[in-house]
Amino acid sequence: MPDQKPSGSASSSANGHERRRRSGRPRRRSGEKPATYAALDLGTNNCRLLIAKELNHGFQIVDSYSKVVRLGQGLAASGQLSQQSMDAAVNALTVCARKMKSKNVKRWRCIATEACRRAGNGEEFLSRVKSETGISLEIISARVEARLAVMGCLNLVDPTKDVALVVDIGGGSTELSWVDIRKLRDPNHKMKTHRPPISAWASLPIGVVTLSERIPETADRKSWYEEMKQVVRDTIAEKACDTRFTRAFEDGKGHIIGTSGTITSLAGIHLKLPYYQRDKVDGLWFRSRDAVKVARNMASRSPDDRAKEPCIGRDRAKLLVAGCAITDVICEMWPSKMIRVADRGLREGMLMGLMNRQQTIRTLPDNDETSSTDEAEAAE
């Protein structure tokens, strides 16, 4: 069994947080001031920011920010971002812009995901964001989103296995990526950090927000939970997810990596933490049967009762069960004895990409010190 703590894992605070990266770049010269980078992710439910300084063997988080904005609330029914949700997102992005400038960030990437991909008024919203905050959001494809998430947690794979299924449950979609660990073990395989060995990939058009809105909670919670699980099964079947690695999981040669608020919350509840502690959760090996047990227990409880859990809180209480249903079905379809918990992923992958390439996606105006846009990345 691998160690409980991953190499390069970090504390729950923004300060003193160090990550390791794989890179062919030369080390920073002695006395050279470390560059500061930022990764901003505007998702269906949250706006999140990481600001980091580059180290010789990775990076150190110097500031972070996370705010529930519910950008995708009501999107499935209306096809539009609501005024209230857009206002909340703009307010959060204003805070992010202020933090980036105060930390003298020179290279950055700011992305928007599923909500902006789907919304009929997504481009109009991005124009407003640019005008009011100075941030130019880049709407990335689901495929790029999945790859960035894998990049951010690649060092959590178990090298003794053949395949890892990286599960990123978002607000509007769920990304599944099958990583071929055999290639990581192969000394002849030249793996670029920004191109991890993803052998198969699927994007499910369901996340904690969209599934919760599609199947509203009822008093008969057992039937409600089973209905959500069936929707997940049907969605996976419709997507015809790659089955090449199913046998590897059945033979015990595969494992799951969960990188989302759902799995980190379930891990915190399982550990009975008095409050969420990132250093206790990130890198944890979590028995799948325990994850499913906690998930089903959460599904049986009322939103008010779920909100009493210190690792959930009221903001997440209403959405958690949808993530539990997705996790439950994935554990059912790709049986894995253990799940590796990752409180890292998309934003860390963005930071690694920026540092390894010494390039940035241009996102803030009136800053002559930024480098050029990575056209190859933007074209994906």
Q: Residue 358 maps to which CATH number?
A: 3.30.420.40
Q: What are the tens digits of pLDDT across the range 238-268?
A: 987 767 788 899 999 999 999 989 999 999 9
Predicted pLDDT of residue 366: 36
Predicted pLDDT of residue 315: 80
pLDDT at 317 over 60: yes
pLDDT grade, residue 372 (50/70/90)?
A: very low
Question: Do 337 and 356 reside in the same domain of the chain?
Answer: no
What is the per-residue DSSP string for 182-235? Answer: HHHH-TT----TTS--EEEEEEES--HHHHHHHS---S-HHHHHHHHHHHHHHH
Q: What's the domain range around 180? A: 143-341
* Contact predicate 18/55, CB 8 Å: yes
Predicted pLDDT of residue 29: 55
Predicted pLDDT of residue 74: 93
Question: Do 65 and 213 reside in the same domain of the chain?
Answer: no
Q: Is residue 2, in this structure, part of any structural domain at all?
A: no
Question: Do 179 and 297 reside in the same domain of the chain?
Answer: yes
Predicted pLDDT of residue 7: 30
Question: Do 117 and 131 reside in the same domain of the chain?
Answer: yes
pLDDT grade, residue 190 (50/70/90)?
A: low
Amino acid at 323: G
